[in-house]
Amino acid sequence: MARSFLSIMDVSHEELEYLLREAERIKNNNAPSKVLKGKVLAALFLKPSTRTRVSFEVAVRRLGGDLIFLRGDELQLARGEPLKDTARVLGRYVDGIIARVYRHEDLKILAEYSEVPVINALSDREHPCQALADMLTIKEKLGRLKGVTLAFVGDGNNVCHSLLLACSMLGVNIRVATPEGYEPAKEIVETALAVAPPKTEIQVLNSPEEAVKGADVVYTDVFVSMGDEAEADERLSVFLPRFQVNKKLLSLAKPGAIVMHCLPAHRGEEITEDVLEGKCSVVWDQAENRLPVQKALLSFLYG
């Protein structure tokens, strides 16, 4: 079976560091590469996307390949065709599948039955390409990864899961602060603890103040992820106002701390306008870094 990238844990510590070095090199040199010349990839997106879709489309084309964008409602999936049947057919047509799905299990089905590389462009469990961009951004802005302290404030969601795994592998201290009942999955936390180098701090808390105190990075994401819209009112009543990243909460972080958000941002909910647009925010550079890390990932899988 071809090698896929469904989770941060699908690469070793050494490979993760290599991907970040390669992304840095690609961004700084922008040297032409045709590693995907003659290859056609399919982008199967069952959820809306801006940054992930555009950065992958640009990455594939700049690496010499072609990409077919597939919406779920335009395929026979919408009429009840099993995903494993779609996967088997796609695997005979294309050289890889970039997939944004609702269920992480669907990625596993795609990888098993298509027999071509499958890349996780977001699932309910992880968003590993986002975490790659996040790690590159921190390295650029702070000059290092090991020993940096990142505070994630919000929902223990897919972004949080990938951050936990990436941070732990790279020696980044991570403190996750969520309301009670919204913590990250226990098995993700256990994996993070298992792979972390000695003295790496991994904490799951219910106090945003405790998480942010002295942190180098303050990170947040939407309180209502795609697929959780039915819970929107309940979630907002639980998260607001305490888990909002605002100037008061940010004042507890280390002087010079950076603010990160994977976007899209709901201003006035998980983050205030003044913080998102303020001097500490690096969210636009963070979004830009989706492109070089995805070029590095594609080069790694197909090189």
Decide which of 92, 125, 158 is a domain's last residue.
125
What's the total number of domains in the chain? 2
- The residues annotated as belonging to the active site are 100, 127, 130, 221, 262, 290
Tens digits of per-residue pLDDT, 248-273? 999 999 999 999 999 999 999 999 99
Asked if residue 14 belongs to a domain, the reply is no
Both 239 and 194 in one domain: the answer is yes
Which residues have C-beta within 8 Å of that of residue 195, sequence separation ≥ 6?
9, 13, 165, 168, 169
- Domain interval for residue 258: 130-287
Would you place residue 97 in the very low, low, confident or very high pLDDT band (cuts 50, 70, 90)?
A: very high
Q: How far apart are the first and last CA of the chain?
A: 16
* Residue ranges in 99-250 assigned as alpha helix (H): 104-114, 128-142, 158-170, 186-195, 208-212, 232-239, 247-250
Domain annotation covers residue 24:
no
The kind and range of the H/E element at 150 are strand 149-153
Q: Are residues 135 and 283 in the same domain?
A: yes
Range 228-246 average pLDDT: 93
pLDDT of residue 30: 72
Give 39-94 pLDDT, tens digit per residue. 999 999 999 999 999 999 999 999 999 999 999 898 898 899 999 999 999 999 99
Q: What are phi and psi of 60, to 5 degrees?
A: -60, -45
Band (pLDDT 50/70/90 cuts) for residue 301 is very high
What pTM was estimated for this model as a whole? 0.96
173 and 202 Cβ atoms separated by less than 8 Å: yes
β-strands 217-220, 202-205 pairing: unpaired
Looking up residue 37, the CATH number of its domain turns out to be 3.40.50.1370
Distance (Å, whole) CA 28 – CA 100: 28
Rounded to the nearest integer, the mean pLDDT of the chain is 96
Query: Confidence band (pLDDT; 50, 70, 90) for 302?
Result: very high
Q: Identify the burial level of 111 via C-beta atoms within 10 angstroms of its C-beta, where 0-12 means exposed, 13-18 middle and 19 or more buried.
A: buried
- Checking if the pLDDT of 1 tops 90, the result is no
pLDDT over 90 percentage in the chain: 92
The pLDDT of residue 194: 97
What confidence score (pLDDT) does residue 292 get?
Answer: 97
Round to whole Å and give the CA distance between 48 and 102.
11
